[in-house]
């Protein structure tokens, strides 16, 4: 129980500031006079000897002690066993509201007590917003604390049999939700090894000018070949990488290899006497990368080291970078001033796209594939895509449609005036050597 005291800081803001500690000898009437307690109030006052909750009862709240002392015990009467005595700043009753289990112990005020009430909803909200790993560790800790309480209870009543650890673990281990969390943790560990062991590689998907159907650039796409798992899809590991600091070394790796390959693409064009300064490689930049204070310096250093022009690199960002709007706009302006193009990816899927377009200068809109997939089957999707293209045209911005898979989708986009296309209709993502070869072939 005692190890839960650090949780108090999470919820203290919900209640009033902690008053001066009241001595155990203080009269309970002084506490009652101190505050008018209503059913909606998040303060509870308990008199000396008052039971706060009993073992086996349902749990819908926890308490943070502002003043007074509370005994936590198991059993009843002469057979009761004291587990702990808690004082100001301690929190108790939290286990039941975290896992919705009955109380595993009883609580009693040893003297007049004043407590902040923490509702189950408050705790659930914070746990849901935490990472899967944090939720797993909380559950494991609760499980073991309850097992320990059960063990202590046997000391006060020898007739109660000690539960087998193997039995108590089985229900937890078989829980499907936490099996998934364990799998995510293992995946993260393997991904850390992937960064260290050079298991990552890039694939390139071409982007075509929809007017003349010529390749104008490639998007670099990260892939992972794991020795144990085989080829791991990006939808499995990119989200985990973005939740952790792993996205930073991975992002640096993508920048390095994309710039190196861009130089090789350009060398190939020069050999074919097709020097094209408008050819580009599009690179996805994560929110955490973009928020690094030295991101721009690292970007400039990488391009200079590989001898590529900033004009040939398009940085693809999502609306999430605008979580810190002022900083994001300053960073985008800095990149654009140096010659980099900035493209807003997954356009139309967020809530404030038009708002960002009004406040921030960008170079391109990339229409999310979820709209393109429904383009020929949904009038609403067609209207929305047409509106996005029209808005972009009036702002002087080119548009990219991703996820084009059928000729009818391409024809509809051409009729609407979309500038650039990308998708399986043209090509799947390719290894670098095959992407080079594709540049020499006409579009089929």
Phi, psi (degrees; rounded to nearest 5) at 81: -130, 120
In this prediction, residue 125 carries a pLDDT of: 73
For the chain, the structural domain boundaries read 2-130, 197-438
Contact criterion met (CB below 8 Å) for 152 and 81: yes
Segment (H or E) for 408: helix 407-416
Mean pLDDT check: name the lowest of 65-69, 209-213, 307-311. 209-213
Is the Cα torsion angle 32, 37, 42, 46 positive or negative in sign?
positive
Q: Which residues pair with 81 in a beta bridge?
A: 74
DSSP string, 278-290: T-EEEEE--HHHH
Residue of higher predicted confidence among 127 and 375: 375
Phi, psi (degrees; rounded to nearest 5) at 69: -135, 145
What pLDDT digit, counting tens, does each position of 228-245 carry?
A: 999 998 988 998 898 888
What pLDDT digit, counting tens, does each position of 274-324 carry?
A: 666 689 999 999 988 988 889 999 999 999 999 999 999 999 998 888 877
In this prediction, residue 346 carries a pLDDT of: 83
Task: Provide the pLDDT confidence category of residue 216 given band limits of 50, 70 and 90.
Answer: very high
pLDDT at 153 > cutoff 70: no
In this prediction, residue 122 carries a pLDDT of: 79
Q: Structure pTM?
A: 0.69
| CATH superfamily to which 2-130 belongs | Jelly Rolls (2.60.120.10)
Give the count of beta carbons closer than 10 Å to the beta carbon of residue 3: 8
pLDDT at 29 > cutoff 50: no
Nearest by Cα to 389 from 425, 426, 427, 348? 348
What pLDDT digit, counting tens, does each position of 78-112 carry?
A: 878 888 999 999 999 888 777 777 888 899 999 99
CATH architecture, domain defined by 197-438:
Alpha-Beta Barrel (3.20)
pLDDT at 19 > cutoff 70: no
With a CB cutoff of 8 Å and minimum separation 6, the contacts of 85 are 69, 70, 71, 72, 110
Contact criterion met (CB below 8 Å) for 24 and 110: yes
Average pLDDT value for residue range 60-73:
93
Residue of higher predicted confidence among 273 and 59: 59
CB-count burial class (<10 Å; 0-12, 13-18, 19+) for 55: middle
Residue of higher predicted confidence among 220 and 104: 220
Pairing assessment for the beta strands 230-232 and 215-226 based on DSSP bridges? antiparallel
CA distance 400 to 382: 15
* 364-379 per-residue burial string, b: 16 or more CB within 10 A, e: under 16: bbbbbbebbbbbeeee
Residue of higher predicted confidence among 353 and 377: 377
* 281-298 per-residue burial string, b: 16 or more CB within 10 A, e: under 16: bbbbbbbbbbebeebbee
pLDDT at 30 > cutoff 50: no
Give the count of beta carbons closer than 10 Å to the beta carbon of residue 413: 23
In this prediction, residue 275 carries a pLDDT of: 63
Task: Provide the pLDDT confidence category of residue 59 given band limits of 50, 70 and 90.
Answer: confident
């Amino acid at each position: 129980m005692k190890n839960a005291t650090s949780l108090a800081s999470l919820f203290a803001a919900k209640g009033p500031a902690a008053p001066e500690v009241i001595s155990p000898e203080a009269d309970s009437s002084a506490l009652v006079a101190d505050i008018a307690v209503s059913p909606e109030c998040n303060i509870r006052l308990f008199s000396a000897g008052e039971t706060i909750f009993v073992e086996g009862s349902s749990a819908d709240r926890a308490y943070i002690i502002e003043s007074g002392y509370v005994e936590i015990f198991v059993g009843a009467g002469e057979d009761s066993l004291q587990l702990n005595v808690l004082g100001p700043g301690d929190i108790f009753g939290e286990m039941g509201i975290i896992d919705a289990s009955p109380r595993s112990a009883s609580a009693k005020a040893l003297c007049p007590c004043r407590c902040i009430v923490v509702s189950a909803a408050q705790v659930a909200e914070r746990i849901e917003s935490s990472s899967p790993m944090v939720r797993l560790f909380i559950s494991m800790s609760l499980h073991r604390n309850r097992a320990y309480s059960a063990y202590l209870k046997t000391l006060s009543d020898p007739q109660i049999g000690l539960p087998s650890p193997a039995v108590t673990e089985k229900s937890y281990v078989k829980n499907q939700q936490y099996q998934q969390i364990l799998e995510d943790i293992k995946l993260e560990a393997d991904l850390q090894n992937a960064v260290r062991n050079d298991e990552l590689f890039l694939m390139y998907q071409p982007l075509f000018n929809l007017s003349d159907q010529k390749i104008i650039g490639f998007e670099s796409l990260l892939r992972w070949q794991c020795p144990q798992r085989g080829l791991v899809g990006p939808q499995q590991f990119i989200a985990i990488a973005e939740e952790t600091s792993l996205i930073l070394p991975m992002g640096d790796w993508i920048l390095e290899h994309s710039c190196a390959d861009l130089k090789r693409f350009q060398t190939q064009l020069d050999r074919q006497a097709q020097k094209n300064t408008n050819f580009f490689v599009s690179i996805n930049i994560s929110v955490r990368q973009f928020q690094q204070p030295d991101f721009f310096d690292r970007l400039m250093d990488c391009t200079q080291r590989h001898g590529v022009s900033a004009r040939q690199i398009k940085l693809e960002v999502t609306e999430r970078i605008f979580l810190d709007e002022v900083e994001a706009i300053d960073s985008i302006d800095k990149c654009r001033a140096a010659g980099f193009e900035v493209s807003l990816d997954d356009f139309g899927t967020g809530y404030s796209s038009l708002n960002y377009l009004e406040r921030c200068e960008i170079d391109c809109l990339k229409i999310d594939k979820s709209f393109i997939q429904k383009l020929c089957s949904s009038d609403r999707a067609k209207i929305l895509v047409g509106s996005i293209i029209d808005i972009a045209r009036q702002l002087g911005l080119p548009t990219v449609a991703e996820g084009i898979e059928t000729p009818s989708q391409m024809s509809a986009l051409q009729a609407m005036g979309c500038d650039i296309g990308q998708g399986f209709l043209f090509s799947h993502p390719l290894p670098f050597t095959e992407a080079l070869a594709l540049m020499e072939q006409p579009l089929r």
